Amino acid sequence: MRCGNCGRDRSDRPGSCECVPSWVWRDPEVVAAVRERDARRVIQFLRRQVKNLSQESLARMCGVAQSTIARAEVGRGLTDRRRIHEALHGLGAPLTPPQPVAVVQSSTSRLSLADITSELFLESPQHAVAQASALWDADLGRHLSEHSVRTPAEQLSTPLLRWLIAPPSVLEPNPDSPVNVTEDDVHAITRACDLFETLDHEFGGGHARTAAVQYLNSEIAPLLRGRFTPTVGRALFSASVRFAAKTGAMAYDAGLHDLGRRYFFQALNLAHLGADRLFGAKALALLSHQANFL
């Protein structure tokens, strides 16, 4: 394999790549980080210990933007397992073959409030669906306060830009899931959203918001963790985008502005996973409308 920074072959021959010295992969801290697939710790170590490696050099080796390396240095970003593997592989780390990535873990109970609110845009289907499910569950159980989901305005531009330039997502259904998703399930979500939209327009956002969150949590979340064909999967995520955005608009109408913003970003995540660029643009429009209102 050739180095993405210097272009030389990674071998023991004279004149081969020396961007990452061989001793790095024998350091106990790096050995542990590679074993745990923690690319951020590896990048932090390289920036501390290998002085000639700039953020630009690491970005070329990892195949990511320089801003991703900058976030990794402060312990943020690089949560997508596929991206992590590609980054470590690009650095020349000794890796075993990666395991297949399912859409989501069977349980989101291990997600804390910090996990729910840590990142606004997630490219990994596994993490995006897990975060969505945890948010719906916490919202339904009234475990969220406006303060806990507050996002300063200056932190909004980076996730929005990431959505604009992110490569297409690859949906991977969970083959072990007992839930088989069909077109009828997608149609049911669409009809339910129509009904909640009617209630919202007639009685206001606060009237049926809790019921909408309940539908997300009990009906849609299991489907997002289910088995589906690529066509049905895209339609499922597109229908879920609309429902999440409508729930966010209901929160916005009820004066829960920080929570509404979280749902709009959640809609942006689901739009990315469903390759629904038009509804992703709708989510951007909702965020813009809210920002102008505030």
Where is pLDDT greater, at 172 or 92?
92
Q: Is the pLDDT of residue 98 over 50?
A: no
Token pair listed for 221: 């979340």
| Percentage of residues in the chain having pLDDT higher than 70 | 87
Please report the pLDDT score of residue 267 as a whole number: 93
- Segments making up each domain of the chain, as ranges: 22-91, 113-293
Please report the pLDDT score of residue 143 as a whole number: 64
Please report the pLDDT score of residue 95 as a whole number: 80
Measured distance CA(163)–CA(236) in Å, rounded:
20
Token pair listed for 274: 């469903």
Please report the pLDDT score of residue 76 as a whole number: 78
Q: Is the pLDDT of residue 195 over 80?
A: yes
**3-state SS assignment for residue 227:** strand
Please report the pLDDT score of residue 113 as a whole number: 47
Convert the pLDDT of each residue in 47-94 to its tens digit.
989 888 899 999 888 888 888 898 888 887 777 777 788 889 889 888
| Terminal-residue alpha carbon distance, the chain | 52
Mean of the pLDDT values across residues 5-13? 75
- Which pTM was predicted? 0.59
Q: Is the pLDDT of residue 107 over 70?
A: no
Q: Is the pLDDT of residue 161 over 70?
A: yes
Average pLDDT taken over every residue of the chain: 82
Please report the pLDDT score of residue 211 as a whole number: 92
Please report the pLDDT score of residue 35 as a whole number: 85
Measured distance CA(145)–CA(164) in Å, rounded:
29
Please report the pLDDT score of residue 223 as a whole number: 92
Please report the pLDDT score of residue 213 as a whole number: 92
Q: Is the pLDDT of residue 96 over 90?
A: no
Cβ proximity of 258 and 246 under 8 Å? no
Of the candidates 277, 284, 285, 269, the residue with the CA atom closest to the CA atom of residue 134: 269
Q: Which of 95-109, 139-153, 247-261 has the lowest mean pLDDT?
A: 95-109
Convert the pLDDT of each residue in 209-252 to its tens digit.
899 999 998 899 999 988 898 899 999 999 999 999 999 999 99
Q: Is the pLDDT of residue 134 over 80?
A: yes
Please report the pLDDT score of residue 109 as a whole number: 38
Dihedral sign for Cα 187, 189, 190, 195, please. positive
Measured distance CA(142)–CA(117) in Å, rounded:
15
Name the band, by pLDDT with cuts 50, 70 and 90, for residue 147: low
Of the candidates 194, 206, 193, the residue with the CA atom closest to the CA atom of residue 252: 206
Burial degree of 73 (CB within 10 A; 0-12, 13-18, 19+): middle
Name the band, by pLDDT with cuts 50, 70 and 90, for residue 12: low
